[in-house]
Amino acid sequence: MINIFRIAVRNLFRHRRKTLLSSLLITIGVLMVVLFSSGAGSFKTLMIGQITDASLAQIQIHKKGFVSSIDTMPLHLNLSPKAYKKVKDILDKNPQVDCYAPRIKLGAVLSNYLETTNIRLNAIKPDSEIRVCPALRERFTFKGKPPGESLIKPGEIIIPDRLAKGLDIKIGDTVVVVAHNKDGSVNGLNFTVAGIVETLLGPQGKEGYIHIKDARTLLRIDRPEVTEVAIRIKDFDRLNAVYSDIKAALSEYKNPRGKPIFEIHTWEKLSPFHNIANMIDLMTVSMKIVMIAIVLISVLNLMMMSVYERVREIGTITAIGTPPAKVMGLFLAEGFSLGLFSTLLGNTIAIAGIYLLNIYEVRFSFGRMENLLLSPSVNFSELLWVSAIVLVVSVFATLQPAYRAARMKPVDALRHV
C-alpha cells in the first residue's frame, strides 16, 4: 500500500504545473469553506450569545397566548402565583436547568417632566436575572456603581440608550413612569435613572429595566405573579432536549377547558436572528456544495487527462502482470493523494488565517449593535468534515478514470500512439 502511494505521489508530480493548478483550486475551495464557516460561526455564536446571555435567555415560559400578544404586553396573561409555583417545581426537578428568573413585562409612559414617550419595561429580580443572563451587566452603563453591587435596586430604572439620548436623560436624573394597571386604572412612580442600557437586536433589545418589586407597586399587583420565567440550562448544546423535557412536563397542566396553561419557547422562536442564523447555515452548506463541485471537476479533469496520457504505460504495467484492481488502486491513490495534499494545505492556510484574524482584531456593526468583535476560532470537527468531504469526493471523481484504466486491454493499450 505504501508503495502504491509512493508511485501515486510521484505520478502526480510528473506534470507539476498541472497538478499544482488543480491542487490550488481545491486548496482555495477548502480555504473558502473553513474561513467562511469559522467567521460566520463566530458571528453566529457571538450574536446568539448576545441574545441569550444579555437579553432573552435560552428558554422562556409564559401563560398560553402571551407570545402571540407580546406587542401589547397584556397583564391579564401573567402567570398566577399558583402557576408560577408549578413552573418552579418542574424546573427545580430538571437536572439540566442551571437557573431561572421571573420577569414582569409592561408597557408604560416615561416622562422627564418636559417630554413623555412610551417605554417597554422588563421588571427583574436582579440576583436571579444576572445568573440567567450573565452578560446583561455588560450592556449597562453605570456611573460610579461598584461591579459587585446589585444590577438594580427598588426605586431605580435603567433607560434604553436611544430613549436616554432622545429625552436627554442622564444617569442620576429623576423620571416618572406611568402605567395602566390590570383593572384599567393608571398609576405613576418616580424613579432615579441608575444606568443606561445598550440597544440589542431582537424583541427585548430595546426595553428598560426596573426592579420586580417596583413593577408590582406600579401595577398594584398584590400577589407575586410574573409574566415570564427565563431559563438558563447547563449545556447549551442540549437545548432542544431540555426544551422537550420541560415542555412535556408543562403539558400535563391544563385549564378547565382542557387547553394547556403554559407555553414554552426557545430563543430561536423568540428572536428574528434565528432566521439569519439559518441563512448563515444555508450559506455554509452552499459554500460546501461549491467546494465539492470544484474538487469534483478538478480531480476528474486531472485524472482523466492522466489516464489518457498514460495509456501505453498502463499497457506496460498491465502486460507485466499488474492485476486490474491494483491498476485501479494506483489511480485512486493519485486522486486521494491530490485531495489529501490540497485539504492539508487548505486547512493549514485557513488555520493561519484564523490566527491572524484573532491577532488583527476585526470589528463590525450589526444593526444598532456597534463595535462587535469577530473572534473566529478553529472548529476541529468542521476541519475534519471538510477534509472528509474533499477526500471522498476526490476518490469518487477518480473512480471513472481509474476504472477505465483498469479495464484497458494490454494489447490495445500497448498499441496506443
Residue 7 is a binding residue for another protein (CB under 8 A): yes
Based on CB atoms, which residue is closest to another protein, 160 or 315?
315
Based on CB atoms, which residue is closest to another protein, 3 or 72?
3
Based on CB atoms, which residue is closest to another protein, 3 or 381?
3
DSSP labels, 63-101: ETTTGGGGGG--GGGSBPHHHHHHHHHHHHH-TTEEEEE
Question: Stretches 2-10, 82-90, 109-117, 384-392: which one binds another protein (CB under 8 A)?
Answer: 2-10
Quote the least distance from Cβ 315 to another protein, whole Å: 8
Based on CB atoms, which residue is closest to another protein, 316 or 379?
316
Residue 411 is a binding residue for another protein (CB under 8 A): yes
Quote the least distance from Cβ 327 to another protein, whole Å: 9
Find the DSSP H helices in 158-211.
Answer: 161-166
Across 252-280, b (16+ Cβ under 10 Å) vs e yields eeeeeeeeebbbbbbbbebbebbeebeeb
Quote the least distance from Cβ 343 to another protein, whole Å: 23
Strands 186-197 and 174-180, by their bridges, are antiparallel
Give the Cα separation of 387 and 393 in Å (integer): 10
Based on CB atoms, which residue is closest to another protein, 92 or 309?
309
Give the Cα separation of 195 and 171 in Å (integer): 6
List binders of another protein among 18-37 (CB under 8 A): none
Based on CB atoms, which residue is closest to another protein, 353 or 410?
410
Quote the least distance from Cβ 345 to another protein, whole Å: 21
Pick left, alpha or beta for residue 182 (phi over 0 → left; psi -120 to 50 → alpha; otherwise beta).
alpha
Quote the least distance from Cβ 6 to another protein, whole Å: 9
Quote the least distance from Cβ 23 to another protein, whole Å: 17
Quote the least distance from Cβ 302 to another protein, whole Å: 16
Closest by alpha carbon to 226, among 213, 245, 243? Answer: 213
Q: Tell me which DSSP letter residue 14 carries.
A: G
Quote the least distance from Cβ 403 to another protein, whole Å: 13
Helices (H) and strands (E) in the chain, counts: 14, 12
Give the number of residues in contact with another protein, rule: CB under 8 A. 24
| Count of C-beta atoms within a 10 Å radius of residue 376 | 24
Residue 16 is a binding residue for another protein (CB under 8 A): no
Question: Stretches 72-80, 206-214, 245-253, 405-413: which one binds another protein (CB under 8 A)?
Answer: 405-413
| Count of C-beta atoms within a 10 Å radius of residue 415 | 11
Contacts of 274 (CB under 8 A, 6+ apart): 267, 268
Based on CB atoms, which residue is closest to another protein, 189 or 317?
317
List binders of another protein among 271-330 (CB under 8 A): 312-313, 315-324, 326
Residues in contact with another protein by CB under 8 A are 3-4, 7, 10-11, 13-14, 312-313, 315-324, 326, 409-411, 414
